[in-house]
Structure formats: C-alpha cells, structure tokens
C-alpha cells in the first residue's frame, strides 16, 4: 500500500473530487478515481468520503491510499509558465500550441514519471482536466515526443467535440517539414495500410491488406548531399504515419532510430508540424510556426547536392 497526499491549490477550488484526482494523476481515469472514492480509501481533510461529486476547496488536504495510482510529477511555477511560451493562439474553445521536441504529449502509461504536456496544461488551465479523456485531457490529436510543431488542444466540451469531428472527417489539413535520408522523388503519394507490429509494440508496420488505410503526399523542397528536405501532407492521421511512410519508401526521417538510424548532431526527429488549416463554426483558421532553431541550424550546416 502507498499513500499519496495532494493539497488543493486555488486554481482547483470548486472542482469535483474525482476530477481533481484525475487531474493530479493523468495516467488514471476519472472512473478509476471514482472507484477509489467509493472504496473509502480517499480521505478529505483526514475524514473518509465516498462522494466523488464533492467539491474541493483551496488548501484541502486529500490523502489516497492505494496500490494502483502513480502520482504525476510536481509542477512548479516555472513549469506552469512553460505553456505561455508554447502558446500560438488562444480561442474560446481551443488552444494552439507549438510543442517542442522532447516533450511527451500525455503519459503513455501509469508508471510514466516524466512531466508531460498534459501536466503543464492542467496546471495552467485547470478546467481542461475535465475535457475529453481523463488520461489525456484536452487532447484531440498528438505529436510524437521527438517531433515539434503545432498541436490543437480543446478547452471546452464544444471545442473537443468540434475538433474530434473535424479530424474524423479529415477536414483539418496538416503540413509537415521533414528531413529524410537519401534523395527522395520530387513528388509522390504513399498509400499503405498501417498496423501495429505484432512482434514489437513500439513499432507500426505497413501492410497491403490489414491495418488502417493511410495516405501521405509529399514534395521535395531542397536536395542536400545525403538527404532531402520534403514537405509532407498526411491525408489520414495514423500513429507514426509520416515516419513510417518515409521509411517504407527507403527515405527514413533523420534522427528516427526506430525506423531508420540515429543521426549525429540530432537528439530529435527531423520532423516539424508546420501548418494547420481548418474551418470551425464557419470561421476559417490557418496557423503556421517556423522550423525551430535547433533543426534550422542543423539544416543550414548541410552541404547541398552537387
């Protein structure tokens, strides 16, 4: 048995107890937290409570005794301010962020102890803790940990449902820049189903018949001596799609050791989500962020193809 103690900050004042616990432990679900409360293992100000809908107050002390929860890392004031550095636009119903490479979007498992983007989000925007799925609050799509660029986050139920619907309808156009090994064709379309590798759950594989349909179009921007800067436009949103499709045609993304090889001088994938375009509630939106300095410096040092 392990005991975890949480002190309610002012930003969480008035939140439901089960929502508060889910916000503190994004690797758990709100339903799981409700079960803990129902089981009587949650103390509110040293008194047992079985009411998941009870609202918490500023400076309340909540103690949970369990074998199933892993607490999320503590978020400092400096960590909370990081979201402001990533903010591209703030809308009534959604946020647009420029995620840096190296930051995971949400905890991949209960045992994950790294600070995730969702930890920073719920610290800076506590209301997002109740939006969408409890283990990935506000998240409507994702970027891999070592990919940088534009990410949409819902901050209201309407925003969540709207964005989820747009993604399902493939009504959000995404453009990425990728630096790939070798000299890619000038243009191309990659259409191969994608499924999880049955022998390695970390990887996805292409398959002619099984899996989910996936399609990526691309065009070459600049040819370097040993690689190509391409613009990739995924028409579907499958896990690892651009990375896998590029590797499938023999031009893996630089820095991607899972589908290619590690690259000297890169501690990230040479992949950046550059543009998002969509129409929401009748209003068109276009968001663009440049390739970040670390990747720009790497690209500028490359010799051009002769």
What pLDDT shows up at residue 111?
57
Region label for 250, one of left (φ > 0), alpha (ψ between -120 and 50) or beta (otherwise): left
Do 106 and 26 meet the contact criterion of CB atoms below 8 Å apart?
yes
DSSP 8-state code for residue 56: P
Domain residue extents for the chain? 2-66, 77-168, 173-300
Same fold across 77-168 and 173-300: yes
Which residues on neighbouring strands pair with residue 107, listed in sequence order? Answer: none
Does the structural domain 77-168 have CATH classification 3.30.450.20? Answer: no
CA distance 255 to 180: 9
pLDDT of residue 300: 96
Report the top-level CATH class of 173-300.
alpha beta
Query: Quick one: pLDDT at residue 198?
Result: 83
Evaluate if residue 1 carries a pLDDT over 60: no
Given this model, what pLDDT does residue 162 score?
97
Q: Are 231 and 186 in contact (CB under 8 A)?
A: no
φ, ψ dihedrals at 106, nearest 5°: -145, 155
DSSP 268: S
Q: Where are the alpha helices (DSSP H) in 56-204?
A: 77-86, 117-124, 157-168
Catalytic-role residue among 18, 60, 135, 144: 144
Residues 115, 30 contacting (CB under 8 angstroms): no
For residue 1, give the nearest of 46, 66, 48 by alpha carbon: 66
CATH topology for the 2-66 domain: 3.10.290
- Amino acid 31: pLDDT: 78
Q: What is the DSSP string of 86-111?
A: HEEEE-SSEEEEEEPTT--SS-SSTT
142-189 pLDDT, tens digit each: 999 999 999 999 999 999 999 999 999 999 999 999 999 999 999 999
- DSSP structural state of residue 224: B
What is the average per-residue pLDDT within 62-83?
A: 76
**Residue 144 annotated as catalytic:** yes
pLDDT value, residue 200: 83
- Closest to 147 (Cα-Cα) out of 244, 240, 82, 224: 240
pLDDT computed for residue 74 by the predictor:
73
pLDDT of residue 29 exceeding 90, the answer is no
Residue 144 phi, psi dihedral angles, 5° rounding? -60, 155
| Tens-digit pLDDT profile for residues 48-72 | 899 999 999 888 999 888 766 666 6
Strand order from edge to edge, sheet including 61-66: 2-7, 61-66, 42-44, 47-48
């Amino acid at each position: 048995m392990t005991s975890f103690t949480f002190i309610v900050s002012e930003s969480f004042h008035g939140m439901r107890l089960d929502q508060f616990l889910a916000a503190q432990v994004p690797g758990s679900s709100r339903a799981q937290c409700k079960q803990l409360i129902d089981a009587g293992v949650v103390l509110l100000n040293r008194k047992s409570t079985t009411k998941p809908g009870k609202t918490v107050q500023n400076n309340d002390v909540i103690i949970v005794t369990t074998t199933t929860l892993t607490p999320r890392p503590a978020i400092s004031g400096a960590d909370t301010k990081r979201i402001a550095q990533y903010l591209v636009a703030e809308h009534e119903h959604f946020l647009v962020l420029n995620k840096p490479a190296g930051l995971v979007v949400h905890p991949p498992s209960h045992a994950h102890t790294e600070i995730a983007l969702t930890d920073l989000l719920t610290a800076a925007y506590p209301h997002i803790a109740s939006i969408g799925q409890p283990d990935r609050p506000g998240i409507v799509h994702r970027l891999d940990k070592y990919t940088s660029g534009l990410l949409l986050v819902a901050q209201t139920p309407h925003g969540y449902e709207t964005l989820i619907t747009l993604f399902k309808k493939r009504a959000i156009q995404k453009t990425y820049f990728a630096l790939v090994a070798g000299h890619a064709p000038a243009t191309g379309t990659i259409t191969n189903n994608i499924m999880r590798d049955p022998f390695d759950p970390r990887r996805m594989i292409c398959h002619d018949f099984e899996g989910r349909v996936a399609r990526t179009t691309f065009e070459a921007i600049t040819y370097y001596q040993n690689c190509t800067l391409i613009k990739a436009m995924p028409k579907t949103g499958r896990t690892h799609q651009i990375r896998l499709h590029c590797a499938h045609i023999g031009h893996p993304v630089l820095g991607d050791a899972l589908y290619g090889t590690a690259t000297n001088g890169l501690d990230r994938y040479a992949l950046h989500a550059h543009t998002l375009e969509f129409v929401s509630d009748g209003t068109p939106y276009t968001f663009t962020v440049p390739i970040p300095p670390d990747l720009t410096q790497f690209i500028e040092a490359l010799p051009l193809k002769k």
